[in-house]
Structure 1
Amino acid sequence: MLQTTYTEASYEQPVNAETNVDLQHVPASNVTYKLRPTANWVQKPYEKRNFWERLATLDLASDKCYVVQPQNTNPPPNLNVWRERLWLIVMIAPALIIQALWYYIIPENSFFHTWHPIVAFIFYHLAFFTFIIRLVKHITYYMDVYGTFDEYKRPRDYVPDKYVYRLILSILIYTLARTGGGLILGGYNRYSPPSLGHTISWAFPIKIGIWLITLDFFFYFYHRAVHTFPFLWKYHSKHHSTKHPTPLQSILADDLQEIIEIFLIPLAASLVMPLLVHEFWIAQCILAYVEAMGHSGTRVYWTHPLIGEILRPFGMELTVEDHDLHHRYGKSGKNYGKQTRIFDRIFNTISERIEGVEK
């Protein structure tokens, strides 16, 4: 694994969208440099990495993503949204199909016919953890193929040594909480297997889309607040320890941030738009997909697989570069939404894209 000392750009407050200034031409004097965080663990051969470091290895893209690349002057290509939807179907559906087949095959008079809530929790947690692993590999593949935004100035950041353990612990908390929360908020009934029209509404894409927009509403105001008030920023700054993150670094956070983002915001969204139990399974997979996508920096026009095309005519769709710029600007913020740009557009907190213009 290559390891070189790079510097990172520390960007000033982004230009207001109303000025219509091309951020690519902001004077060089607005940029300062400092050393990257230490990541000695990537220097070790795989067999000498500890348990936590081996798990963190899953987040690594190819070596070229961690080395400055020549500037690519071509517009980023469009990523086929229908191909991504197919990938999501292939990854999300098996867990639902397995439970449905179990209820169909095992006789109703059998003790093992139904799944106790604990059994369902274990099964769907393992399924969600597996989904996360496949998701990261899926995204790092695109990072290798297409490169990353800003790579001609600064490549992707490794997970710092001091945060490796915390990252893996955060992943475990995230997957456990999202699985358990989905079963509770969705009202899991052991006698109801996955089925359209019953535990999955026929209008589930619309319901999940509304749930994600509602979640983004609550997330936007929380996220803007932690960037605005210094006493809240200290709880969010760990997440901004990288200006050029990778997919799993989307989960790296302080304890208070984890409580708010993993528990409270989904709860608030669910009170506004309740989802059925197996709709939650679909929603949490899409949510994780968009969060990891947004932190990958993949240099493509890649938007939300469920609601991106609907929001695009209004300039409210979220693409990879939007959240990538959010990390580069650090505390100065902009682009606070993480599922859409609806509220960034309404409240004029959008940062204009530099490279990620639709081809």
Structure 2
Amino acid sequence: MTSIFTTKTIYEKSQDSEADANSQRLPSSPVTYQLRATPNWVKKPYHERNFWERVATLDLANDKCYTVQPQNPNPPPNLNVWRERIWLTMMIAPPLIIQACWYYIIPENNFFHTWHPIVAFIFYTAALIIFTINSIKRLTNYMNLYGTFDEHNRPRDYVDDKDVSRLILSVFIYIMIRTAGGLILGGYNRYTPPSLGHTISWSFPIKIGLWFIVLDFFFYSYHRSVHTFPFLWKIHRKHHSTKHPTPIQAILADDLQDIIEIIFIPLGASLVMPLSAHELWITQCILLYVEGVGHCGARAYWIHPVVGEVLRPFKMEITIEDHDLHHRHGKSGKNYGKQTRIFDQIFNTISERIECIEK
């Protein structure tokens, strides 16, 4: 049976009757949180779960993340961004090194010396799947270690039974489309292996940083629109069916939102800020990681690994709590950026942090 309790958090009743259950505003009047019943797939022993449910098991943190916890009086710890950068480098570099070594070892006159675009697509798709699995494991470990935001009011939401197979399939589609798109937009050349100063520019950290900012402009514009106009909210409403998401629920969406966010928004960023095929693959890995971070809810001050430190002096860096609050606000919005708070700052759509407050 679904358990019900009254929280200390106070919200204003939504003005959108259609999304009333999914919308929360700024403090005004008490409401009662209704927790979801534990989905049936979570109750099954692992050996009784189907393929989709076993993959979704990777997204499960420990039990304390799904039960209300005592309020933590300590401020969230400041996560070492350099530790994350080192981890990302260790996860992203091997596939690029493997292709480079292949071209070095296999003689040029050998038929198998170069990688056909189809071979490159299969290889980098597999590499991105492995990266995704390792990223989710890392994020759930941080959830276990630090707990989650707002855990004294409401724990994380499990993935609903009806969404399990769709979510896993969406992740696979996301990975394949992003890999293929990167090879196409980046102008993949089968005769040119990954190399610093050539297919990967020495200035690529700056280029990737600019790419993320351009991406955030397109995403902010789209994201604020779907929260502002009722006829567009229907596109995005499914994503807000969770108030306290987990990493895999970053891709919880209807078909139209998937098309817009997986294809068109990164396409716009790549047309404005072109990158090579190998630079785009690096970027897609980091982007996938950032999406998971933003939805894991881990209770830590955790900034973007590429642009976070640059933007922090201007108070435009984004942290986990920013997007976590976005989900709690529901349709009423705030914190529309996903990579930065640049445009939230410019257009005054920032929601004040509750737990990540600098003393």
Instruction: Calculate the TM-score normalised by the size of structure 2.
Output: 0.93
- Name the SS of the counterpart of 1:295 in structure 2: helix
Write the distance in 1 (CA, Å) between the matches of 2:13 and 2:132.
33
Write the distance in 2 (CA, Å) between the matches of 1:289 and 1:4.
32
**1:37 Cα offset (Å):** 5.9
Matched, 1:5 2:9: no
Letter in 2 for 1:98: I
**Structure 1 residues 45 and 12, CA gap change in structure 2 (3 angstroms):** same
- Name the SS of the counterpart of 1:139 in structure 2: helix
| 37-46 or 319-328, which deviates more | 37-46
How large is the Cα RMSD of the aligned pairs?
A: 1.9
Write the distance in 2 (CA, Å) between the matches of 1:320 and 1:35.
22
**Structure 1 residues 97 and 12, CA gap change in structure 2 (3 angstroms):** farther
**Residues 13, 332 of structure 1: 8 Å contact kept:** no
Which consecutive aligned stretches of 4+ in structure 1 deviate over 2 angstroms post-superposition?
A: 3-14, 29-35
Write the distance in 1 (CA, Å) between the matches of 2:220 and 2:4.
32
**1:357 Cα offset (Å):** 2.3
**1:248 Cα offset (Å):** 0.7
What are the equivalent positions in structure 2 for 1:78-227 lying under 5 Å apart? 78-227=78-227
Write the distance in 1 (CA, Å) between the matches of 2:252 and 2:183.
24
Letter in 2 for 1:163: D
**Structure 1 residues 73 and 254, CA gap change in structure 2 (3 angstroms):** same
- Could you tell me which residue of structure 1 aligns to residue 237 of structure 2? 237
Letter in 2 for 1:273: M
Letter in 1 for 2:308: G
**Residues 77, 358 of structure 1: 8 Å contact kept:** no
**Residues 37, 160 of structure 1: 8 Å contact kept:** no
**Residues 56, 164 of structure 2: 8 Å contact kept:** yes
**Residues 334, 351 of structure 1: 8 Å contact kept:** yes
Write the distance in 1 (CA, Å) between the matches of 2:278 and 2:357.
36
- Could you tell me which residue of structure 2 aligns to residue 323 of structure 1? 323
- Name the SS of the counterpart of 1:33 in structure 2: strand
Letter in 2 for 1:173: I
Name the % identity.
74
Write the distance in 2 (CA, Å) between the matches of 1:87 and 1:168.
24
Letter in 2 for 1:224: R
Letter in 1 for 2:54: R
Write the distance in 2 (CA, Å) between the matches of 1:10 and 1:36.
19
Letter in 2 for 1:5: S
**1:13 Cα offset (Å):** 8.1
**1:358 Cα offset (Å):** 4.1
**Residues 246, 296 of structure 1: 8 Å contact kept:** yes
| 5-14 or 117-126, which deviates more | 5-14
Gaps of 5+ in 2: 15-25
> 1:217-246 deviations in whole A, cap 9, x for unaligned?
000010001111111111111111100000
Letter in 1 for 2:249: Q
**Residues 215, 268 of structure 1: 8 Å contact kept:** yes
Larger relative contact order (CA 8 Å, sep ≥ 6) = 1
Write the distance in 1 (CA, Å) between the matches of 2:165 and 2:85.
33
Write the distance in 2 (CA, Å) between the matches of 1:48 and 1:358.
47
- Could you tell me which residue of structure 2 aligns to residue 352 of structure 1? 352
Write the distance in 2 (CA, Å) between the matches of 1:168 and 1:314.
37
Letter in 2 for 1:354: I
- Name the SS of the counterpart of 1:95 in structure 2: helix
Gaps of 5+ in 1: 15-24
